[in-house]
């Protein structure tokens, strides 16, 4: 990275309150209270500290400490320059001469609440996130990251795990703390950090959680991290004002919740043969997710965004990163809801039915679900309008909706969704009619241009759950053949569906014969042949009549 001198620094842009990057010339002059001379002195001091750190002079640690102090500088450009200098020094050739990079990580994590209250840029968090990610890339580049490894070998992650209470305090402080009102010095009002800082906190937590996927973490630490996350779920994420906050912050919340649920799923798989501690912990997390879905304003905000013709008054649309519209938030919300639903189905068992009933009633679920069933849930057309541009999200949501219909088809009476059907029939009617798996599959074919080659491409890709979804749907189609063909015939889509499926099967057979299919196609082709046989038998029966 080239040295940052004054002319270069002047070219940088600065984030405004919403987190949207604005050109320096468009930022209000009141934002900067330093004189030009003070600014030049600060930049020159940064250069001196950076050069001293990289040249291995004496008092190296003192220079690093000085650079750290500049992260809190009132001028956002000075703070940014300090972050870039620190990153360059900490990842430079003389990194081994620094007293301990872990000390720097700890200094960034163990920051007082007073400092977090003053945080205006998020550069402290950017530095921490970039440092940890870069060290992980260096580890993988050296060939050390093939299998699951012990967490103690990655002390920079261990430092964070040892200070989870401070991390929780950081999140609490950034998202909500009490401050004095400007109009009344004696009154307390809720104050939050800038949205850019909130986003950086969530992005750091997501990156940190994902780094733990392939590491062996002590079970006591697993429990502590889980408890801290569940505490944040109730104290912070449920209470958030999703209506007024920028949707890119909400997207970061949804990503973090999904990443942590994925981590719990990994840990749960490792614990299954030992005891039921992780099973109870996983169930407790899903309960918190259910509380968040029902009690927070996130779901109601998403539904309003979907149904309002002019959603600009619902949330700050201009605050999207890249100003790309409302769909990223809605896609993330649908994905989060579908993953929670699938997790609830997978974790359910008969002995949990009574407890699940009580939880749904305590959460006032029937009334809320009844309201969702009165035209607020998105139609199939709205669903595909939101999901069509993201194949992976679209297929995963369709897979979840197909799974949800299994208990309502009578195939399994141990799933909590049956309790939802009993407690809120209007909600269930919407699920079984508007989100009928046969009609969803037909709509998917329309979205894909009824092209069997597009389906084949998705089936051979490892970037989506198309194979799992397709096999699940074909199994349901063959099991409920008579009911399904009636719905497809009523929609005048049966011939279209069968045409695509037959052409797909013939193409798969051709690729298998040429040894070009990437995996064993036996189960898939057998399922397709079963559907063809049922279709031919049904045609013969109609012909006889």
Q: Residue 341 has which token pair?
A: 């639903």
| pLDDT more than 70, % of the chain | 65
- 249 and 388 housed in the same domain: yes
Whether residue 236 is contained in a domain is answered as no
For residue 317, give every residue at least 6 positions away whose Cβ sits within 8 Å of its Cβ, in sequence order, or none: 247, 311, 323, 325, 326
What pLDDT does residue 283 have? 83
- 480 and 530 housed in the same domain: yes
Q: How far apart are CA 474 and CA 85, in angstroms?
A: 57
* Burial label, 219 (beta-carbon count in 10 A; 0-12, 13-18, 19+): middle
b/e map of 356-379 (b: 16 or more CB within 10 Å)? bbebbeebebbebbebbbeeebbe
Q: Residue 30 has which token pair?
A: 């009141």
Residue-wise pLDDT for 333-368, tens only, equals 999 988 888 887 776 643 444 454 445 444 445 455
Last residue of a domain, one of 379, 409, 435: 435
What pLDDT does residue 492 have? 92
- 279 and 425 housed in the same domain: yes
- How many domains are there within the chain? 4
Q: How far apart are CA 528 and CA 536, in angstroms?
A: 12
- 307 and 364 housed in the same domain: yes
For residue 311, give every residue at least 6 positions away whose Cβ sits within 8 Å of its Cβ, in sequence order, or none: 304, 305, 317, 326
Q: How far apart are CA 292 and CA 257, in angstroms?
A: 11
DSSP 406-444: HHHTTS-S-STHHHHHHH-HHHHHHHHHHT-HHHHHHHH
Q: How far apart are CA 279 and CA 545, in angstroms?
A: 55
For residue 191, give every residue at least 6 positions away whose Cβ sits within 8 Å of its Cβ, in sequence order, or none: 117, 176, 177, 178, 179
What mean pLDDT is predicted for residues 376-400? Answer: 90
Of 179, 184, 190, the C-alpha closest to 245 is: 190
What mean pLDDT is predicted for residues 422-449? Answer: 78
What pLDDT does residue 16 have? 40
- 527 and 431 housed in the same domain: no
Last residue of a domain, one of 46, 74, 99: 99
Residue-wise pLDDT for 443-501, tens only, equals 999 999 999 999 999 999 999 999 999 999 999 999 999 999 999 999 999 999 999 99
- Asked if pLDDT for residue 219 goes beyond 70, the answer is yes
Of 437, 436, 511, 433, the C-alpha closest to 471 is: 437
Whether residue 118 is contained in a domain is answered as yes
Q: How far apart are CA 174 and CA 122, in angstroms?
A: 10
Whether residue 27 is contained in a domain is answered as yes
- 58 and 133 housed in the same domain: no
- Greatest alpha-carbon span in the chain: 97
Structure-token match 């919340």, residue found: 253
pLDDT band, very low/low/confident/very high, at 306 (cuts 50, 70, 90): confident
What pLDDT does residue 149 have? 56
- 353 and 373 housed in the same domain: yes
User: Which domain, by its residues, includes 254?
Assistant: 242-435
- 285 and 263 housed in the same domain: yes
Whether residue 230 is contained in a domain is answered as no
Last residue of a domain, one of 99, 132, 150: 99
- 319 and 198 housed in the same domain: no
Whether residue 229 is contained in a domain is answered as no
Mean pLDDT computed over every residue of the chain: 75
- 110 and 201 housed in the same domain: yes
Q: How far apart are CA 434 and CA 319, in angstroms?
A: 32
> Higher-confidence residue: 515 or 185?
515
3-state secondary structure labels for all residues of 219-276: HHHHHHHHHHHHHHHHHHHCCCCCCCCCHHHHHHHHHHHHHHHHHHHHHHHHHCCCCC
What mean pLDDT is predicted for residues 273-280? Answer: 72
Q: How far apart are CA 372 and CA 364, in angstroms?
A: 13
Of 238, 223, 243, the C-alpha closest to 295 is: 238
- 325 and 374 housed in the same domain: yes
Whether residue 232 is contained in a domain is answered as no
- 467 and 516 housed in the same domain: yes
Whether residue 79 is contained in a domain is answered as yes
Whether residue 225 is contained in a domain is answered as no
What pLDDT does residue 168 have? 92
């Amino acid at each position: 990275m080239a040295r940052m001198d004054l002319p270069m620094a002047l070219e940088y842009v600065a984030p405004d309150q919403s987190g949207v990057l604005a050109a320096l010339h468009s930022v209000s002059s009141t934002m900067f209270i330093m004189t030009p001379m003070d600014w030049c002195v600060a930049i020159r001091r940064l250069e001196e500290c950076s050069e001293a750190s990289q040249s291995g002079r004496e008092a190296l640690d003192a220079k690093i400490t000085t650079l750290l102090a500049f992260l809190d500088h009132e001028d956002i450009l000075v703070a940014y320059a300090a972050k870039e200098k620190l990153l360059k020094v900490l990842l430079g050739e003389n990194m081994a001469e620094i007293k301990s990079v872990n000390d720097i990580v700890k200094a960034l994590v163990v920051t007082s609440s007073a400092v977090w209250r003053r945080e205006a840029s998020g550069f402290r968090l950017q530095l921490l996130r970039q440092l940890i990610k870069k060290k992980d890339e260096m580890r993988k580049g050296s060939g050390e990251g093939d299998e699951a490894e012990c967490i103690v070998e990655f002390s920079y992650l261990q430092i964070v795990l040892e200070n989870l209470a401070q991390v929780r305090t950081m999140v609490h402080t950034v998202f909500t703390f009490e401050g004095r009102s400007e109009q009344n010095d004696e009154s307390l009002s809720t104050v939050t950090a800038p949205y850019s800082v909130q986003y950086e906190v969530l992005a750091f937590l997501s990156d940190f959680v994902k780094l733990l996927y392939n590491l062996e973490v002590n079970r006591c630490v697993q429990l502590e991290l889980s408890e801290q996350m569940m505490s944040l779920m109730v104290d912070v994420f449920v209470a958030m004002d999703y209506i007024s906050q920028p949707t890119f912050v909400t997207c970061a919340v949804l990503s973090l919740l999904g990443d942590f649920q994925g981590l719990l799923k990994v840990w749960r798989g490792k614990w299954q043969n030992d005891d039921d501690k992780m099973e109870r912990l996983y169930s407790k997390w899903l309960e918190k997710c259910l509380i968040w879905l029902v009690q927070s304003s996130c779901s109601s905000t998403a539904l309003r965004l979907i149904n309002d013709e002019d959603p600009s008054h619902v949330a700050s649309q201009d605050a999207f990163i890249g100003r790309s519209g409302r769909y990223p938030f809605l896609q993330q919300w649908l994905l989060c809801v579908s993953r929670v639903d699938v997790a609830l189905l997978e974790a359910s068992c008969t002995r949990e039915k009574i407890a699940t009933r009580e939880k749904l009633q305590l959460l006032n679920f029937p009334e809320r679900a009844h309201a969702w069933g009165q035209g607020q849930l998105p139609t199939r057309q709205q669903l595909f309008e939101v999901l069509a541009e993201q194949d992976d999200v679209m297929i995963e949501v369709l897979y979840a909706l197909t799974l949800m219909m299994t208990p309502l088809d009578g195939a399994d009476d141990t799933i909590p969704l049956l309790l939802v059907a009993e407690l809120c029939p209007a909600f269930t009617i919407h699920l079984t009619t508007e989100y009928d798996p046969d009609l969803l599959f037909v709509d998917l074919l329309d979205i894909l241009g009824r092209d069997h080659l597009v389906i084949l491409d998705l089936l051979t890709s490892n970037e989506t759950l198309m194979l799992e979804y397709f096999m699940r749907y074909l199994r349901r189609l063959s099991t409920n053949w008579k009911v399904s063909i009636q719905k497809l015939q009523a929609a005048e889509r049966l011939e279209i569906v069968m045409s695509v499926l037959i052409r797909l099967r013939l193409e798969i057979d051709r690729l298998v014969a040429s040894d070009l299919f990437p995996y064993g196609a036996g189960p898939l082709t057998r399922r397709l042949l079963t559907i063809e046989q049922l279709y031919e038998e049904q045609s013969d029966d109609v012909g006889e009549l």
